Copies of this chain bind each other. A is one copy, B any other.
Amino acid sequence: MYNLLIGGAAGQGVDTIVEILEKLLKKSGNCVFTARDFMSRVRGGHNFSTIRFGNEMIQSHSNKLDGIIALNEETIQFHKDRVSAGGFIMCDSKISLEGPGIIKIDMEKASKELGNPHVAGTIAAGAVMKLFGQSLKDSDEVIENSLNEKYWKINKEALKIGFDSVEKRFDAVKGDFKDWMLLSGSQALALGSIAAGLRFYSAYPMSPSTPIMVYLASKSKEANIVVEQAEDEIAAINMALGASFAGARAMTGTSGGGFSLMVEALGFSGIAEIPLVIVDVQRPGPATGLPTRTEQSDLKFVISASQGEFPRMVIALRNHRDSFYQTIRAFHLAEKYQIPVIILSDQYLGDSSATVEPFDLEGIKEETETYKDKGEYLRYRLTENGVSPRLIPGKTKHLVSSDSDEHDEHGRITESAEVRVQMVDKRMKKLDGLAKELQEPEFIGDKSFKTLLVGWGSTYGPLAEAVRILNSSKKNQYAALIFGDIYPLPQKTLLDKAKKAERIINVEQNATGQLAALIREQTGLVFDSAILKYDGRQMTSEDIVARIESEAKK
């Protein structure tokens, strides 16, 4: 397994090189994982990505580097200390830096000769392929898939120039991942929504959720989806509710700040029982916070957002696979229970790309309306399971209503104390059904574990790897439990494993340990300690291991 860092200023084209390189590597059979770190600006500053690749499953980034591709000097200064022995720093010849690991290429000059200084990075990408003993056989396809036609020729040439400018240095890895998919968490989520029958997506641009909208927009004509940029997030969610009421599967997506503006309508979805999927791609708060960084600090917010009480479901995405399949499930649960389902992603997961097994479309079926009652149609009929017959207005002779006030079975405003209680109870009954749908957290490790690490969402990859590392030296003393379904909280496996554990530690990308608080509230379990990170950068497996080892020393 190798790990490369590609860095430069915003606007220098780091993204393009990374995209070409990760695809080339994957096409050569590697498993690839790319994490993206960038600033909230359009030009200048310092952006970088790390590409990890190899012939085993990779699900997270790493601190250790085998090489740096530096589009500017800053990149070298910031990251050179992380390069392992035997690693390299690739940069332009003009940079005055000497040493055994330094690989200089005349990228700038060569790219200017080619006629476009922006292809300097492509030259570096070509060089990297050679260094790692990879071939360029799929490069035409990759270039053509990634770039606008007018840039094909020059980039193909640039790749070759780079390839020819260095010698192989590292053992070639040969994985079997050639036919797997390589995509970002947000793309996987968007694709999942399409597979679930999405017809209407409304959103207001907001990092890091925008890639979902961009992907859906790019496929809107092919896939028959309306992507509507709303005037604000309040409009976005109310549009989604209007579309869903009218029978088009609808989703809205945003980050925490936009979610804040959607809070009132979230409750509306709850009382009016209009199915809705809401995506919150988390970033560090409060307020504007760190717009392009990562954090898991909206959990407590989204599980209790909006005045009053109503059932909702919150699913945290753990990885790129989840991003696809759980999004589909979110739509199905939203419709089955006529509730809002909130999907929690974050910048780390949303913007990183990973290699996943091709998505399987078997078993994904569109559910259809099944109202067959005779007699009077009651939109909010009091039923055993709390779910009332939902019809689509205009698709039936019955009249369909929807109401944000407390209402009776017809959907008419009521002030009756009795009906109020019946309606609250009816809605809350859906929680019984939901309880049966819950998926237990994923357990990673050996059953002989002594320390149980508990996390949720995107720390999945780092935790999985941390357990592997810890167990290889500490003989299976570690295990991890990572929650996907998080609210309502599935408790069985947790209580089971916690009972066996000598020590339980919550591992979260926030400052207050929100999952630990939720677990204590719901189960009484108290964690022995916490590994928390809240600097806007995702923890690596090495970070977790280091924290555990430093604690052990204390």
B-binding residues in A (CB < 8 A): 39-40, 45, 234, 255-257, 259-261, 263-265, 267-268, 270-272, 282, 284-291, 293, 295, 297-298, 300-301, 303-310, 404-406, 413, 415, 417-418, 420-421, 424-425, 428, 510-512, 517-518, 520-521, 524, 526, 534-537
Contact = CB atoms under 8 A, between A and B. Distances in A.
A283 to B, nearest CB: 8
Given A267-B286, A268-B288, 13 more contacts: A39-B415, A40-B405, A255-B307, A256-B307, A260-B305, A271-B287, A285-B307, A286-B307, A288-B406, A291-B405, A309-B510, A309-B512, A415-B536
**Taking each of A267, A287, A305, which has the highest tally of chain B beta carbons within 10 Å of its own beta carbon?**
A287
A415 B207 CA distance: 15
Contact of A298 (B256, B287, B307, B418): B307
Contacts of A291: 405
Given A307-B298, A521-B520, A535-B417, A404 B263 contact: no
A284 B406 contact: yes
Contacts of A288: 268, 271, 404-406
Contacts of A272: 287
22 contacts: A257-B264, A257-B307, A260-B305, A260-B307, A263-B305, A268-B288, A271-B285, A272-B287, A284-B420, A285-B307, A289-B404, A293-B415, A295-B308, A301-B304, A303-B304, A309-B534, A406-B536, A415-B536, A420-B536, A421-B535, A520-B521, A521-B521
Contacts of A524: 520, 524, 526
**Taking each of A263, A295, A537, which has the highest tally of chain B beta carbons within 10 Å of its own beta carbon?**
A263
A261 B267 CA distance: 12
Contacts of A40: 405, 413, 415
A417 B264 CA distance: 33
A527 to B, nearest CB: 12
Contacts of A417: 535-537
**Taking each of A290, A293, A300, which has the highest tally of chain B beta carbons within 10 Å of its own beta carbon?**
A290
A272 to B, nearest CB: 7
A284 B271 CA distance: 11
Nearest to A524: B524
Contacts of A308: 256, 284-287, 289, 295, 297-298
